[in-house]
Amino acid sequence: MTPKASAASAARLATHIFLLVVMLHQTNAFHQPRTTIGRHSSRLGILPLGGSGRGDARKDEDSGNGIYYEDELKIPFSPDAQICPLRQSRMAREEAIRNRFASGQELADLREDRHNLQENLRWSQAAGDIRRVRDLKTTIKKLEEKDPDFVYANAVREITKADAISDPKKRDFVKQTWQNEKDMARFVLQRFRLEGIWVGK
C-alpha cells in the first residue's frame, strides 16, 4: 500500500470515529434528566404539581451553575388550600339544598307514598277520624317538602297570592320567603339545569 493510500484510509477511519462519537453523545443527551434553570424549564412544559412536597431543589453539584433537576422541584399542593371562604360557604349551602330534596328512586318512592297517604286521608275525612286526619296531613306535608317539583309550584302560587297583601313590608317579606323556597327547588330541578346549553353564546 502506498503512503498516499495509507493516508486516505487513516482519514476515513478518523471520520468514522468522529461520527460515532457524535452519535453516542447525542444518544446520551436524550437520557439526561430534564433540568430547570432558575424557574424556567430547559424544555417547554409545566412543572409537575404535588409529589414529595419538598420546596428545595438539588443543585447540580458538578457544574455549580445554578441548574436544578426538574424532578426535584416538587410544589406542595392541596385542593382545599385555594378555596376561598366565600366559595366554601356557597358549596356548603348547595350541599344542604341537595340533601333537603329527594331525587332518583327515592323521589319516585316518595311520590308513591304521598299518593297512598292522600287516599287514606280522604277515607279518614269521610269517616270523621279527626286525629288520623291531622297525623296524615303532617306526614304528607313532610313528604311534600322533599319534593322539589311540589315546592317550586307551591312557591309560585304563594308569591302570586302575596301580591294581594296590602301592607308593603309584610308583602315583601312573604314574597321573599317564598322566593327563597322557589330558588332552592329550582336549583335541583333538572329542567332548569341545562348544562352546556348557552343561548346567545
* Least confident window among 77-81, 172-176, 191-195: 77-81
Domain housing 173: 82-192
Domain for residue 26, yes or no? yes
On whether both 90 and 55 belong to a single domain, the answer is no
On whether both 63 and 98 belong to a single domain, the answer is no
On whether both 118 and 140 belong to a single domain, the answer is yes
- Tell me what the mean pLDDT of segment 48-72 comes to: 44
pTM reported for the whole predicted model: 0.55
Confidence label for 12 from pLDDT (cuts 50, 70 and 90): confident
pLDDT at 125: 95
Domain for residue 77, yes or no? no
Domain for residue 201, yes or no? no
Q: Mind listing the pLDDT tens digit for each residue in 22-40?
A: 666 665 544 444 444 444 4
Q: How far is CA 26 from the centre of its chain?
A: 44
Query: Above 70 in pLDDT, residue 180?
Result: yes
What share of the chain in percent tops pLDDT 70?
59
Cβ neighbour number for residue 110 with a 10 Å cutoff: 19
- End residue of a domain, out of 27, 52, 72: 72
On whether both 130 and 168 belong to a single domain, the answer is yes
Confidence label for 7 from pLDDT (cuts 50, 70 and 90): low
Show Cβ contacts of residue 145 under 8 Å, excluding neighbours closer than 6 positions.
100, 151
More confident site: 147 or 82:
147
On whether both 56 and 122 belong to a single domain, the answer is no
Query: Above 60 in pLDDT, residue 105?
Result: yes
Give CA separation, 106 vs 113, 137, 143, 146, 159, in Å. Answer: 11, 20, 11, 10, 28
Average pLDDT value over all residues in the chain: 75
Domain for residue 95, yes or no? yes
Confidence label for 2 from pLDDT (cuts 50, 70 and 90): low
pLDDT at 14: 72
Measured at the alpha carbon of residue 195, what is the angle toward residues 189 and 196, in degrees to the nearest 5?
A: 160
> Structurally, how many domains does the chain consist of?
2
pLDDT at 79: 54
Domain for residue 103, yes or no? yes
Cβ neighbour number for residue 180 with a 10 Å cutoff: 11
